[in-house]
Amino acid sequence: MATSEIQHTALTLHDQLPILQVAIPLLAAPLCVLVGQRHAAWWIAFISSFAAFVISCLLLVQVTDGSYISYEIGGWAPPLGIEYRVDALNAFMLFLVSGIATLILPFASASIGQEVPERNHTLLYSCFLLCLTGLLGVLITGDAFNVFVFLEISSLSTYVLVAQGAYRDKRALTAAYDYLIMGTIGATFFVIGLGFLYMATGTLNMADIAARIAEQGDNRTVRAAFAFILVGMGLKVAIYPLHHWLPNAYTFAPSAITAFLAATATKVAIYVWLRFMFGVFRPDFLFDVYTLQFIILPFGLIAMFAASFVAIFQRDFKRMLAYSSIAQIGYMLLGIGLISATGLTATISHLFNHGITKAALFMGVGALVFYSGSSFYDRLEGRGRTMPWTSAAIVIGGLSLIGVPGTAGFVSKWVLVQAAFEKGWWPIAALIVASSLLAVIYVWRVIETLYLTAPAEGAARREAPLPMLIPLWIAALSCIYFGFDGVFVVDIARTAAEGLLTSPTPLPLLEGN
Amino acid sequence: MWEFIVGHLNYWLFCVLMMTGLYIVVARGNLVKKIVGLNIFQTAVFMLYISMGKIAGGTAPIFPTDMNVDPNVVYSNPLPHVLILTAIVVGIATTSLGLALVVRIREEYDTIEEEDILHIERDIVTAENQSHGGAMGGRA
């Protein structure tokens, strides 16, 4: 390893990309408040999100071959210093999160004007940027405690963002409060788990922890750490029995915020799961394998069916989509539970594909709500005729949610079915298809409401404003694009999955530890 | 046996505090009390971290100013303490945000008792079912 002096002279702006990825939105957030003018704040938020997106693209092209970039904060070499480590998995997630943030902001500029009073806009953009910072930080860091800190940055700002829905419906406040209680319990469990890991290994660098656990093997402290991290992050992921906070938070948050959270927050939590279960604990740690196969996999299956059933009986479009999110998380858990490269490929590509699908659908709801004022089905009747562009985009999103061939949702479900067959577990493949049929029912209810009922009397043709329609259609078209050209997503997902399953090069161990 | 119990006193207290906090969060209906419970729960974790940094016979990890470190002196591990400084900041932010939400909830609902809030929300849902649930036979 080169000494820090040599590295300092060799650094160019290009080498600083990993830190800029997090620093730009972090510095832009207080700037929004200082400027204090809502249009300027929007521009700051948009430009910094776009900059983060460009950086994530630059990082992604460097690591698609399976290599990784290691960045030492302040020139302190890991494992003592904090390391930012970018590999195919988190570069791909950074791409998703910053891309969605850039896409949502133009949408937000139109939609929150109706949903949140103007005096709050500057602060809302500032919180949005903090949330983005937290999510990007969780993804990029290679230090376990850093994950906790960034997780709390994103969670705390998320609670504020959800509570902003209170100007439409006061239940947003209790939803945010519930989320705060659950989220904090989850994060605290996570930090207890990290404490046990530190006790067992004496280090906080994830690659270093992995190497030391592999060295000392299984013991009770490591098992306790695993259990706390599993449950703690499980609360943030909203795995089936721990999902209580999700439907209310998604239903009552402002539309743009729901679209952003649904597409990114739970996905980032699943990323942390993947990183800890495969990157830190390694699958040769048997406790890990048993837990994934006998606890996570069944919960995934239950989520796929139970949440889909509940979704069918909703009368509110937005709440229906929230339950469908829980069901879709079930597919991702299933991919994790299969513990194979193909299973993980399915999980990672579903993270991405479901992210853009849900972003499209929640933006669609936001556009409908813009005129109808609420997302109950009876208020949306006949919108297919009065808002044809919005409705068409919702139909595309809905098809992708079901997994119709030619849409993004199909590609990842197909890989998931392949993974099940690879293991010879054909009943699981049958269950995947069966639960997709439930998705047909709840998506059909939406299509029926939009197209097969008469619009309310005197309803004129009134399309949503362009700042909402353009991001909505970009998301909808990318659902189709990634459906026809699934190779891009699946290739990166496979590189990422293989990166998770092969052990990383261990860092040189420090003496005296 | 006695050694085991007394020697791990900090950890026993951590368990007791953690479960007390968690119990208060679950069992109390008052929103402010829930936040207090959450606070106790988080404080327990601080104790866990600080305990693990302690090394038997270790002194405060401050080197003498002339940097003549005596190799025979044992120092405690400062890293967990530093981590907990961060966690304390997170805890304060969570508590203040939670209390701010409680203030807003009281403005809107005029109560901070969970049971009353649930009652009010149930009434809202019933009203919604009556006005929007036509397609589902009046209920959803």
Q: How far apart are CA A420 and CA A56, in angstroms?
A: 32
Q: Do B133 and A163 touch (CB under 8 A)?
A: no
Q: Write out chain B residues lying below 8 Å of A185, CB-based.
A: 22, 25, 38, 41
Q: Do A378 and B135 touch (CB under 8 A)?
A: yes
Question: Any idea which residue has 């949306």 for tokens?
Answer: A380
Token readout for A221 is 């402290």
Q: Answer whether B113 touches A (CB < 8 Å).
A: no
List of long-range contacts for B84-88, beta carbons under 8 Å, 24+ apart: B84/B46, B84/B49, B84/B50, B86/A145, B86/A149, B87/A148, B87/A191, B87/B42, B87/B45, B87/B46, B87/B49, B88/B46
Q: Answer whether B42 touches A (CB < 8 Å).
A: yes
**Nearest CB to B135 within list A174, A181, A315:** A315
Within a domain: B89: yes
**Nearest CB to A163 within list B104, B128, B132:** B104
Q: Are residues B38 and B93 in the same domain?
A: yes
Alpha helices in A36-120 (DSSP H): 38-63, 88-115
> What's the pLDDT at A379?
84
Q: Answer whether B94 touches A (CB < 8 Å).
A: yes
CA distances from B80 to A79, A84, A199, B9, B48 (A): 15, 21, 10, 18, 9
Q: Which of residues 62-81 of B touch A (CB under 8 A)?
A: 79-80
Q: Are residues B120 and B95 in the same domain?
A: no
DSSP A190-257: HHHHHHHHHHHHS--BHHHHHHHHHHH---HHHHHHHHHHHHHHHHHHT-GGG-THHHHHHHHS-HHH
Q: Do A313 and B90 touch (CB under 8 A)?
A: no
Q: Do B101 and A149 touch (CB under 8 A)?
A: no
> What's the pLDDT at A78?
81
> What's the pLDDT at A48?
96
The pLDDT tens digits for B43-64 are 999 999 999 888 888 888 888 8
CA distance A347 to chain B (A): 31
Q: Phi/psi at A64 (nearest 5 deg)?
A: -65, -20
CA distances from A247 to A116, A136, A244, A497, B123 (A): 20, 24, 7, 30, 18
Q: Answer whether A145 touches B (CB < 8 Å).
A: yes
Q: Do A199 and B52 touch (CB under 8 A)?
A: yes
Cα A167 to chain centroid distance, Å, stands at 26
**Nearest CB to A188 within list B41, B86, B124:** B41
Q: Which sign does the torsion angle of CA A105, A409, A283, A287 carry?
A: positive
Contact A229, A139 (CB under 8 A): no
Q: Do B105 and A177 touch (CB under 8 A)?
A: yes
Q: Are residues B41 and B90 in the same domain?
A: yes
Could you tell me which chain B residue has the CA closest to the CA of A313? B140
Cβ-Cβ contacts under 8 Å for B65 (sequence gap 6 or more): none
For residue A490, give the nearest of A60, A28, A24, A92 by alpha carbon.
Answer: A92
Within a domain: B69: no
Q: Answer whether A160 touches B (CB < 8 Å).
A: yes
Q: Do B108 and A177 touch (CB under 8 A)?
A: no
Token readout for A153 is 């940055």
Q: Do A377 and B109 touch (CB under 8 A)?
A: no
Q: Write out chain A residues lying below 8 Å of B48, CB-based.
A: 192, 195
Angle CA A184–A188–A191, to nearest 5:
140
For residue A474, give the nearest of A317, A388, A383, A364 by alpha carbon.
Answer: A364
CA distance B136 to chain A (A): 8
Q: Do A379 and B93 touch (CB under 8 A)?
A: no
Q: Answer whether B104 touches A (CB < 8 Å).
A: yes
Q: How far apart are CA A399 and CA A38, in angstroms?
A: 37
Q: Answer whether B90 touches A (CB < 8 Å).
A: yes
Q: Are residues B28 and B5 in the same domain?
A: yes
Q: Answer whether A422 touches B (CB < 8 Å).
A: no
Q: How far apart are the first and last CA of chain A?
A: 19
> What's the pLDDT at A10?
52
Q: Are residues B91 and B140 in the same domain?
A: no
Q: Are residues B41 and B95 in the same domain?
A: yes
Could you tell me which chain B residue has the CA closest to the CA of A172? B105
Could you tell me which chain A residue has the CA closest to the CA of B39? A184
Domain tally, chain B: 2
CA distance A58 to chain B (A): 32
Q: Answer whether B26 touches A (CB < 8 Å).
A: no
Q: Do B97 and A181 touch (CB under 8 A)?
A: no
**DSSP β-bridge partners for residue A69:** A86
Within a domain: B68: no
Q: Answer whether A144 touches B (CB < 8 Å).
A: no
Q: Are residues B105 and B89 in the same domain?
A: yes
For residue A354, give the nearest of A432, A430, A259 by alpha carbon.
Answer: A259
Within a domain: B63: no
Q: Are residues B82 and B139 in the same domain?
A: no
Share of chain B above pLDDT 90, in %: 58
Q: Do A315 and B140 touch (CB under 8 A)?
A: yes
* Interface contacts (A, B; CB < 8 Å): 95
Q: Do B87 and A191 touch (CB under 8 A)?
A: yes
DSSP B74: -
For residue A323, give the nearest of A243, A233, A377, A232 by alpha carbon.
Answer: A243
Residue B47 belongs to what domain range? 1-58+76-109
Q: Answer whether A375 touches B (CB < 8 Å).
A: no
Q: Answer whether A441 touches B (CB < 8 Å).
A: no
Within a domain: B66: no
Q: Answer whether B39 touches A (CB < 8 Å).
A: no
> What's the pLDDT at B130?
84
Q: Where are the domains of chain A?
A: 284-505
Q: How far apart are CA A432 and CA A410, in angstroms?
A: 12
Mutate to test the interface with B, among A155, A169, A174 (most CBs of B within 10 A): A174
Q: Identify the helix (H) or strand (E) that includes residue A439.
A: helix A426-451
Q: Write out chain A residues lying below 8 Å of B135, CB-based.
A: 315, 377-378, 449
Q: Are residues B134 and B84 in the same domain?
A: no
Q: Give the confidence band of B2 by pLDDT, cuts at 50, 70, 90.
A: confident
Q: Answer whether A377 touches B (CB < 8 Å).
A: yes
Q: Are residues B10 and B23 in the same domain?
A: yes
Q: Are residues B103 and B130 in the same domain?
A: no
Q: Which of residues 85-114 of A touch B (CB under 8 A)?
A: none
Q: Do B101 and A180 touch (CB under 8 A)?
A: yes
Q: If chain A, 513 residues long, is cut into consecutive pieces of 10 residues, what is the mean pLDDT of each piece?
A: 46 83 94 92 95 95 88 84 91 95 94 89 95 96 94 95 92 95 95 94 90 84 91 92 92 94 94 90 73 87 93 91 94 90 93 95 92 84 88 95 92 93 90 93 92 78 88 94 89 89 56 39
Domain CATH number, residue B103: 1.10.287.3510
Q: Are residues B80 and B140 in the same domain?
A: no
Q: Do A163 and B129 touch (CB under 8 A)?
A: no
